[in-house]
Amino acid sequence: MNDITLKIKTIKLHILWALCGLIPSVVFAQVEVAVDSVKARIGEQITYEMQVEADSSQLVIFPEGQTFMPLEVIESFKTDSFKQNDRYRLIKKYGLTQFDSGRYTIPGQKVVIGDKVVFTDSLDVEIMGVAVDTTKQKLYDIKPIIQVDKGPSSWWVYLISILLIIAAITALIYWFVWRKKPMTLEERIAILPPYERAKLALKELDKADYLERNELKAFYSDLTLIIRKYLDEKVYDHSLESTTNELIGRLMLLKDGNQIELDNKTISNIETILRRADLVKFAKSKPDPELAKLDLGTIDMEIDHVKESLPEPTEEERLADLRYKEELAKRKRKKKILITVALVIFILAATVVGFGLRYGFTYVKDTVFGHPTKTLLENRDWVRSEYGAPGVTISTPEVLERQSGELSPELEGKVQKVTFGYGKLGSNLYITVSTTKINPELQAEASGESDSGQPAIDLRQAAEGTLVTLEGLGVQNIITKNEQFITPNGQEGLKTFGTADFPLDSGDFMPGKYVHLGFTAENVLQQVILAWQEDDNYADEIIDRVLKSIELITLEEDE
């Protein structure tokens, strides 16, 4: 009794809808469909309701995806259900819209109830435009595409790191090469004039404890070395390697030639000490330590006499000595520069070799000198966006821009195609995403019929058409392979891929690779075309990342 009452109420309800003429309804077997309004403004939502009666053992599958074209599905509502005795009534609603005015027919939908397939009837709706009073409301041109400022990045971290490394290297080079280091005693003595150096050396020898330890040989060796060095620098430049007889003979010769004003006593005192030193060093003679102290004082006095006997240096000698000092300073500076350059080259070479062994020398070269696809791959601001309607969601290194394209006259009004792209054929990276809506009549002329009674798009033919288009653009030697492609969200399509030679502006050809992806939903064809340079590892990584990001915007059933 309850079932009969419910059926009567349902029939009355549909009769009321039909009489009102506002909300059309169609009952087809176990499926009832209706819309909340047959008229709507552009962009307004039309609620499409589908009711199915089934028992608890039957599985009901409602339509999903963009099966309501030319209207677009903007929302798929959760399925409601309530029990009527031993049967269930399922209610499924869809939010539809259209952004072009005109009269449209919502195509019949396929519903699977258990092992049966039921097709609903079509419904007509009207999308009305919005009247605009141009005398009161001004019209403006469409704004052009503008560049959007990218968000903040961490480039300054890398800059500060590089500056800190350069500062550390500079500080080390300055500390070990250019810094004026404190001089040792030997260095301070070495820069003194010969006379001051000899006098200072005598003082240091007097402070030494050679005589207390009875080390006469060491004492006389240092003593004679001091007087010989002074004579070598100021009187006779072979004094160090000359024997005692040769040195004294040369002093007498210089005295007789009036080149130095030494008296006989000075020469005699020097000779006496030198011969005594020879006996100590070679004959193991051991004079009294007090005599050794007297010899130290004698040498100190005779150095003064030698200095007084030397003529004043001429202007030429002073200039020569100044030039020598300047040349010596230049040599030191040049030596420091060479050391600095060598250190910088060594550090750079070590850095390149280290990073090369760790990451590969090609990667290091591309990092230092730059590589276009490497820059795209490492771009932190990859763009993930939806293109077209129904949309294709994809992640790309740069945003895809809308591309203008003209259709042939015979396709005008029959095909709607929207294309977004980046790059061009023959460049390092080429990406296009397109959505094509095909008029069912045109589609029926070139295709078979689908299960729903609507023409099915042949993805292989679509791929072949794309390859023909590429050949028309000059692409040569196209090699193709086909395989199934499944997106991360489970949508199936056809993948056509291979290699080809892409034309360049110079007239040459670039060996490259390509991928064509095709997806279809009723009278909609969605395509993604990728092309890149062969043997470009960075581009391979970009393509792999792009392929893994592709998702089709579908509305899955939410039970």
pLDDT confidence of residue 546: 94
pLDDT at residue 278 in the model: 92
pLDDT digits (tens, 9 = 90+) for 496-540: 999 999 999 888 999 999 999 999 877 788 999 999 999 898 999
pLDDT tens, residue by residue, 401-434: 988 766 656 556 567 888 999 998 888 899 999 9
Give the pLDDT confidence of 362-398 residue by residue, as tens digits. Answer: 777 777 777 888 888 888 789 999 998 788 999 999 9
Contact 527, 550 (CB under 8 A): no
Looking at mean pLDDT, say which of 126-130, 194-198, 423-427, 512-516 comes out highest: 512-516
Place 227 in a pLDDT band, splitting at 50, 70 and 90.
very high
Please give the average per-residue pLDDT across 72-92, as a whole number. Answer: 84
Reference 459, options 472, 470, 448; nearest CA is 448
pLDDT tens track for 324-374: 778 878 888 898 899 889 888 988 888 888 877 877 777 777 777 778 888
Q: What is the pLDDT of residue 496?
A: 95
Helix, strand or coil, per DSSP, at residue 133: coil
Rg (CA), the chain: 50
Region for 426 from its dihedrals, namely left if φ exceeds 0, alpha if ψ lies in -120 to 50, beta otherwise: left
Average pLDDT over residues 114-126: 87
Give the Cα separation of 271 and 244 in Å (integer): 7
More confident residue, 435 or 444: 435
Sequence-ordered list of residues with C-beta below 8 angstroms from that of 120, at least 6 positions apart, any chain:
26, 28, 31, 33, 50, 108, 109, 111
200-204 mean pLDDT: 90
Which has more pLDDT, 419 or 30? 419
The mean pLDDT of 466-491, rounded to a whole number, is 90
Given a cut of 60, whether residue 453 has pLDDT beyond it is: no
Average pLDDT value for the chain: 81
Residue 8 pLDDT class (50, 70, 90 cuts): very low
Q: In what order do the strands lie in the sheet with 39-41?
A: 39-41, 123-128, 102-106
**Among all chains, which residue has been given the structure tokens 């692409």?**
475
Q: How many CA atoms does the CB half-sphere of 164 hold within 13 Å?
A: 6
Q: Give CA–CA dist 492/51, Å, rounded.
A: 29
DSSP class of 428: S
Query: Which range, 129-138, 394-403, 456-465, is most confident?
Result: 394-403
170-174, 452-456, 535-539: segment of lowest average pLDDT? 452-456
- State residue 413's pLDDT score: 59
- Please give the pLDDT value at position 456: 62
**Which positions ≥6 away from 310 have C-beta within 8 Å?**
234, 235, 260
Q: Region 73-82: what's the mean pLDDT? A: 87
Segment 26-45 mean pLDDT: 78
Residues with Cβ within 8 Å of residue 447, at least 6 apart in sequence: 455, 456, 457, 458
How many Å apart are CA 499 and CA 515, to the nearest integer? 9
Q: What pLDDT sits at residue 6? A: 38
What mean pLDDT do residues 215-222 have? 92
> What percent of the chain has a predicted confidence (pLDDT) above 70?
82
Burial 64-88 (b: 16+ CB within 10 A, else e): ebbbbbbbebeebeebeeeeeeeeb
Does residue 313 have a pLDDT over 50? yes
Residues 244-276 have pLDDT tens digits of 999 999 989 988 888 888 888 999 999 999 999
CA distance 500 to 476: 6
Given this model, what pLDDT does residue 56 score? 76
Closest CA to 62 of 77, 47, 74: 77
- What tokens does 501 get? 């030679």
- Asked if residue 428 lies in contact with residue 532, where contact means CB atoms within 8 angstroms, the answer is yes
pLDDT at 323 over 50: yes
**225 compared with 262, residue with greater pLDDT:** 225
Residue 484 above 50 pLDDT?
Answer: yes
Overall average pLDDT of the 285-311 stretch = 90
Contact assessment for residue 457 and residue 446, using Cβ atoms and an 8 Å cutoff: no
What pLDDT shows up at residue 13? 40
Which of 124-133, 261-270, 451-460 shows the lowest mean pLDDT across its residues? 451-460
Chain centroid to Cα 6, Å, comes to 68
The answer to whether the beta carbons of residues 68 and 106 sit under 8 Å apart is yes
Q: Kindly give, in sequence order, each residue whose CB lies less than 8 Å from that of residue 207, ignoring residues fewer than 6 positions away.
A: none
Residue 18: the pLDDT is: 37
